[in-house]
């Protein structure tokens, strides 16, 4: 009987030890891995080619894992986790439902038009279209960084980088949910204002909100992923989608993360090898 093998990049997430203990408790075999010492051509040194393997760790290593023959390898669909893809489906539920998607060079050229559209005196929220964290999303002032040299230097990106731009909005709380297709697995509060607070979500209105959104959207980037929501001006919104393999757990239930991870990995493996 095929069983899922796990590759764990250590010391990346806060729940590192809990995940390893849960893997042992559920009877799964795992190996530890380091980004700097791994190359896809040497993958057979960890597990056989075409084996059922599931990774958790950093985005860059996850990208390398996807270059192996393992199935699924990692849940990190770069195309589907771009804003330009999933915003198409989640648009009405997004905090940043009013946005521009353009290159940094075009943002500078059209800055007056965009600032006027958002009624801003300079501050705009800017994030990369890609989910690969090419720069840290945040609020930037275009009046201060009003040239490509200034903005490019601040973000360490060139003028062709595709970004999403929206108005500055207050966020009071943020939560993370791990999701299997259209079903919530487990969730956690992780930010109240600027304070980190890990608190497991067990049912209730937050989980109901996410499940209702997922049911309405009826689209998912891949079998496993994360969905972050936030509270702004007393309302709930979808903040962003992320990778199951490369997202922190916060206070989420580790046993469910492993249980559903193994279920999805085995299903995908059997589909490929049917």
What is d(CA 86, CA 1) in angstroms, rounded to the nearest whole number?
A: 36
pLDDT at 155: 82
Q: What is the mean pLDDT of the chain?
A: 94
Within 13 Å, how many C-alpha atoms sit on residue 139's CB side?
A: 11
Q: Which of 112, 134, 84, 118 is nearest to 240 (CA)?
A: 84
- pLDDT of residue 1 exceeding 60, the answer is no
- pLDDT of residue 264 exceeding 70, the answer is yes
What is the strand order of the sheet 138-141 is part of?
99-103, 162-166, 123-128, 138-141
pLDDT at 70: 98
Q: What is the pTM of this model?
A: 0.95
Q: What are phi and psi of 172, to 5 degrees?
A: -95, -35
- pLDDT of residue 148 exceeding 80, the answer is no
DSSP string, 81-113: TSHHHHHHHHGGGBTT-SEEEEEHHHHHHTHHH
Q: Which of 234, 236, 242 is nearest to 201 (CA)?
A: 236
Q: Which of 202, 214, 205, 204 is nearest to 238 (CA)?
A: 214
């Amino acid at each position: 009987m095929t069983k899922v093998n796990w590759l764990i990049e250590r010391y990346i997430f806060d729940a590192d030890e809990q995940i390893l203990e849960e893997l042992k408790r559920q009877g799964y075999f795992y190996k530890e891995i380091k980004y700097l010492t791994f190359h896809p051509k040497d993958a057979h040194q960890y597990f056989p080619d075409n084996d059922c393997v599931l990774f958790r760790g950093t985005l860059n290593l996850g990208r390398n894992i996807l270059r192996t023959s393992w199935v699924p390898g990692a849940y990190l669909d770069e195309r589907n986790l771009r804003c330009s893809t999933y915003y198409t489906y989640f648009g009405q539920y997004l905090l940043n439902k009013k946005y521009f998607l353009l290159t940094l060079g075009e943002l500078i050229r059209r800055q007056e038009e965009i600032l006027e559209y958002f009624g801003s005196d300079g501050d705009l929220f800017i994030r990369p279209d890609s989910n690969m964290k090419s720069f840290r999303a945040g609020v930037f002032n275009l009046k201060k960084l009003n040239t490509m040299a200034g903005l490019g230097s601040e973000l360490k990106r060139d003028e062709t980088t595709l970004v999403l731009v929206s108005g500055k909005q207050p966020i009071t709380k943020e939560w993370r949910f791990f999701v299997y297709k259209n079903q919530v697995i487990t969730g956690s509060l992780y930010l109240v204002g600027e304070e980190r607070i890990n608190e497991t979500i067990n049912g209730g209105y937050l989980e109901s909100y996410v499940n209702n959104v997922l049911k309405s959207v009826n689209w998912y980037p891949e079998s496993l992923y994360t969905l972050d929501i936030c509270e702004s001006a007393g309302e709930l919104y979808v903040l962003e989608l992320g990778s199951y393999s490369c997202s922190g757990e916060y206070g989420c239930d580790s046993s469910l993360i492993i249980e559903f991870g193994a279920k999805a990995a085995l299903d995908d493996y059997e589909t490929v090898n049917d």
